[in-house]
Structure 1
Amino acid sequence: MEEVYKFLKENPVFYVATMDGDQPRVRPFGVVALFEGKLYLQTGNVKPVYKQMTANPKIELCTTSKDGAKWLRVAATVVHDGRVEARRHMLDENPELRKLYSEEDGVGEVLYLKDATATFYSFTAAPKTVKF
């Protein structure tokens, strides 16, 4: 999981896919955190993406390296973590979020990835899969 986290931090714009009924939706995300051995995402509970993740917690995310030679795909189930400590950790690790959210604003939500399958791809090597 640390390898996935490191790749996402080095390539901070990644795209998260959800389902909105029968329509796939994809949007950019830019923050992740490791907390208590789990990989976390953050969003606002007023956003359609949060409602989509609540209705169907299966997501995929994808990003590429800066040079485009490597890419990562992750399929996982997101699990809501309502603890203040988890939200605080996300905000501490990604302080730019503090312009938008606080630990106790009732809007910022954190979700961790469960049953994740991450696959690293490149043009020069066989795919490498990591499960966490």
Structure 2
Amino acid sequence: MNELVRNEIWSFFKQAQPIYLATIDKDIPRVRPVTLIYYNDKFWIATGSEDSKMSQIRSNCNFEFCKTISDGEKTGYIRAAGDITIIQDIETKKMLLDNIDFISYFWKDPADAGYSLLQVNIREIEYMKIGEMIANKYENK
């Protein structure tokens, strides 16, 4: 993916936005809405440690998500696939807790056992521009 295309796609990501995240539970895909965080040019998800997606990610770290995009009349989408890293580092968890309101609304302490932070590592993107009918696939290196 060249820099121009990357910048166009990344321009749709705000600090926090809803996406539909798919994980694998044994051999069954499980999709749910989550808040994707874009901070310091990286993607993150904060979630409860006991949430079912956590056990699914521990068993199989591969994911796919879909984010719809719109200009108010026409739509498109961004699909991304890759792997998820569970972050154990307290300093990284604190950095996001201190800077992202969505996270600090739910957790107050980066060492809280109920707070899990996931780094979303995007390996490929499928991008359908707003108003178009054909999607293009790109590798994210």
Superposition TM-score tier, normalisation by shorter sequence: 0.7 to 0.9
Q: Which residue of 2 aligns with 1:129?
A: 138
Query: Which residue of structure 2 aligns with residue 120 of structure 1?
Result: 127
CA RMSD of aligned residues (A): 2.5
Alignment of 1:1-132 (within 5 A): 5-9=10-14, 12-35=17-40, 38-66=42-70, 67=72, 69-101=75-107, 102-114=109-121, 116-122=123-129, 123-124=131-132, 127=136, 129-132=138-141
> Which consecutive residues of structure 1, in runs of 5 or more, have no partner in the other structure?
none
Aligned partners of 1:13 and 1:28 also within 8 Å: yes
For residues 8 and 83 of structure 2, the distance between their equivalents in structure 1, rounded to whole angstroms, comes to: 19
Cα 1:88/1:33, change in 2 over 3 Å: farther
Tell me, in whole angstroms, the C-alpha distance in 1 between the residues paired with 2:32 and 2:135.
28
Separation (CA, whole Å) in 2 of partners of 1:34 and 1:82: 18
TM-score w.r.t. the length of structure 1 is 0.81
SS in 1 for 2:118: strand
Percent identity, aligned pairs only?
23
C-alpha distance in structure 1 between counterparts of 2:67 and 2:28, whole Å: 21
Q: Which has the larger radius of gyration?
A: 2
Give the Å deviation of 1:82: 0.7
* Number of residue pairs aligned between Structure 1 and Structure 2: 131
**1:49-77 CA-partner distances (Å, limit 9, x unpaired):** 11111110000010101445221000011
Assess if the C-alpha contact under 8 Å between 2:124 and 2:137 holds in 1: no
Q: TM-score, normalised by structure 2?
A: 0.77
Q: Is contact 1:5–1:34 with CA below 8 Å preserved after alignment? A: no
